[in-house]
């Protein structure tokens, strides 16, 4: 059982929801990221989502775009992000860390090199925003073989067969829009997906109010986001 699977199993046994905070590596400056990761754990994080800065974050809104710009201005790269996880693992070997980013840096490094390096550093999951689920089978297989959970965004327009074949931890989204583009988001799980998750509870609707970091004083980095899994 992977670290991520164990966390969700424990949460389910305890009847709790999971808190998965997100920060962009290297923002507001590289020297503080490791301390932020440990602070998130002390603050109750069940899983940490560490954003890999990218110059063209097409699926993200202005908050994360600016975070990536600040991180890139300090020279933060994919290699630096993996090294941060390695340093984090020196004192924390139980909190799962998911790298969230885009395909270009991974393709530039090479998928095999990336997966091997990420495994050695202690990465537990990887979410690549612009890897279409139907086009990343080889990458997903490499991740699974290395013990890294591949995570995919899923919309009701995605083909059900791809969901059944590839998804380790599908993250359902309801709208085809930029992240943080709307303050209020309805998480909608299509009824036809119930058959793919026989252990799920009754079909539920969650309404989450998303608070932008720009609305909060003295918060230069994006606030944590709450991810829920049935």
Catalytic residue, chosen from 10, 35, 46, 49, is 49
Yes or no: say if 99 and 52 are a contact pair by the CB < 8 Å rule. Answer: yes
Catalytic residue, chosen from 27, 29, 35, 60, is 60
- Is 83 a known active-site residue? no
Residues 6 or more apart whose CB falls under 8 angstroms from that of 97 comprise: 37, 47, 48, 50, 85, 88, 122, 123, 124, 125
Burial 151-183 (b: 16+ CB within 10 A, else e): bbbbeeebeeebbeebbbbbebbbeeeebbeee
* Alpha-carbon 226 to chain mean position: 11
Residues 6 or more apart whose CB falls under 8 angstroms from that of 35 comprise: none
Yes or no: say if 28 and 15 are a contact pair by the CB < 8 Å rule. Answer: no
**Would you please indicate which residues are annotated as catalytic (active-site) residues?**
49, 60
């Amino acid at each position: 059982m992977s670290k991520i699977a164990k966390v969700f199993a424990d949460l389910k046994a305890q009847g709790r929801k999971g808190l998965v905070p997100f920060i962009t590596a290297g923002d507001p400056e590289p020297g503080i990221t490791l301390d932020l990761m440990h602070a998130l754990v002390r603050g109750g994080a069940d899983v940490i989502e560490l954003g890999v800065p990218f110059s063209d974050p097409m699926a993200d809104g202005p908050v994360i775009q600016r975070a990536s710009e600040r991180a890139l201005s300090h020279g933060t790269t994919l290699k630096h992000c993996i090294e941060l996880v390695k340093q984090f693992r020196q004192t924390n070997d139980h909190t799962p860390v998911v790298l969230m980013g885009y395909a270009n840096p991974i393709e530039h490094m090479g998928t095999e090199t990336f997966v091997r390096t990420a495994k050695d550093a202690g990465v537990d999951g990887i979410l690549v925003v612009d890897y279409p689920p139907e086009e990343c089978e080889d990458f997903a297989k490499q991740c699974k073989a290395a013990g890294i959970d591949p995570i995919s965004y899923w919309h009701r327009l995605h083909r059900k067969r791809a969901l059944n074949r590839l998804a380790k931890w599908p993250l359902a989204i309801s709208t085809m829009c930029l992240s943080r583009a709307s303050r209020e988001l309805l998480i909608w799980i299509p009824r036809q997906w119930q058959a793919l998750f026989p252990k799920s509870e009754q079909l539920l609707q969650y309404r989450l109010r998303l608070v932008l970091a720009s609305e909060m004083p003295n918060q230069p980095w994006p606030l944590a986001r709450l991810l829920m899994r049935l």
